[in-house]
Amino acid sequence: MNYLVFKSLHIISVVTWFAGLFYMPRLFVYFAEAENKLPAEKKILQDQFKIMQRRLWLGITWPSAIAVLIFGSSLLSNFWPITHYPWLMMKLMFVVGLYAYHLFLHKIFKQQQINKIQFSPMSLRVINEISTIFLIAIVFLVVLKNVLSMIYGLVGLFILIAILMSAIRTYKNFREQKELTVTNKKPDNNNNEDWKAKLSNEEFKILRMCGTERPFEGKYYSFFEPGIYACAGCGHELFTSETKYDSGSGWPAFYDVIDTKNVRLIEDKSLGMKRVEVRCAHCDSHLGHVFEDGPKPTGLRYCINSICLKHLNP
């Protein structure tokens, strides 16, 4: 086969390789973002993303990377000695860097295939831009065959990336303001003797020891009288009857709190799943959990134990 045939095959393999390098980090982002979904939804999404990752990475990206190496090497004999082509030497340096980036993505691929997440979605979005830098640099070198023009192109690219990253960060901050604020602080069950003297055994088990009452048996599950629902431990006002609804879950449900400052949300990894625990911000008593499957306008479902609440008439 002649030079033009090998060149055509080389270009085709480069296109498919970059297609994989561009889309693979997006799948990494989606996989990492699914970590914050409800357990059942998270498993479905992440299992599907792992399948997509394997097909893209092993079926397209890796074969294309190998093809680029084979066909690209076959073209080097037409540019010998290579020292006469400074632009080509610079291009090969970027190609080496691109293969290093490919291996870096392979490491992330292997981690996510075993459900290990090392980078946040924001970090993965930044990583996704790296292949763009390589693409711009290599194209400028090949087309213009001028190192200086390539540098000008990269400067413009870095400015564009800076603007893009700023926009991503702004959007991220805006979205986080609407999402649940979750901390990793562990429950504080100090002064248990005082609480035991104040609460019944069942109340102490649930409010202070993070227990759960039986579904469909709580006194407020099918109770919809108007009024305020306060913490049974300290009387701190938490919910209003206006946001209470029948979720069918077996426990009282609210789609909003009186004030977000009245509760604390804590990451809960007990029972082999990741949930968000709801605690009274005043006395740190356990109330229940909040899920993102509630009705509008919040889309939240505060699933609360009846025994943790005290209904106050309006």
Could you read off the pLDDT of 153-205 as tens digits, one per residue? 667 767 767 776 777 677 666 655 544 554 444 444 456 788 888 889 899 99
pLDDT score for 191: 64
pLDDT score for 184: 44
Of the pLDDT bands very low, low, confident and very high (cuts 50, 70, 90), residue 84 is confident
Among 14, 10, 15, 11, which residue's Cα sits nearest to residue 73?
10
Residue 281 half-sphere exposure, CB side, CA atoms within 13 Å? 14
- Tens digit of each residue's pLDDT (9 = 90 or more) over 5-31: 888 998 999 999 999 999 999 999 999
Among 221, 211, 218, 215, which residue's Cα sits nearest to residue 271?
211
**Which CB contacts under 8 angstroms, 24+ apart, belong to 73-76?**
74/6, 74/10, 75/3, 75/6, 75/7, 75/10
Per the annotation, the verdict on 303 as an active-site residue is yes
CATH number given to 192-312: 2.170.150.20
In the chain, what are the domain boundaries? 3-178, 192-312
Q: Which of 210, 280, 303, 308 does the annotation list as catalytic?
A: 303
Q: Whole-prediction pTM value? A: 0.54
pLDDT score for 130: 87
Q: Are 166 and 126 in contact (CB under 8 A)?
A: no
pLDDT score for 168: 66
Q: Can you tell me whether residue 238 is helix, strand or coil?
A: strand
